[in-house]
Amino acid sequence: MVSKKKIEDLPCSAKLVFKVLKMKGRATFQELKEETYMPDRTLREALKILRDESLLVVQPCLGDTRSRVYALNEEVCLSLIDDLKSNRRR
C-alpha cells in the first residue's frame, strides 16, 4: 500500500502527473504532455513510476487503439485519503 510519505518521496514529474490526473480524471499521453509541458522521456518515466507504485491504471483508448488512457487507481487513492483523514484526527 502506498502512503502519503511515499507520494512525497516521488519525483516532481510523477507528482505533477498525479495532480493532473487527479484534476482531469483520465488522460491520454498526448493530453498529459500538453498539460505538463514535459518531454516525452520524462513523462514516460513519470508514468512508469506511478504504475510501479500501483497509483496508475492504464487502459486502451477505444477511439485510437494505438493510444492508452491513463487514470489514477481509485482504490489506492481512496485508501490514501482515508489514511490522511485518520492521521489528522490523531
Q: Letter for the amino acid at 11? A: P
58 forms beta bridges with: 70
Q: Give tens-digit pLDDT for 52-88.
A: 988 999 999 888 888 899 999 987 766 666 665 666 6
Using a cut of 0.85, tell me whether the model's pTM lies above it.
Answer: no
Domain count, the chain: 1
Give the structural domain span for 12. Answer: 4-86
> Which grid coordinates are listed for 23?
484534476
Which CATH number fits the domain that encloses residue 27? Answer: 1.10.10.10
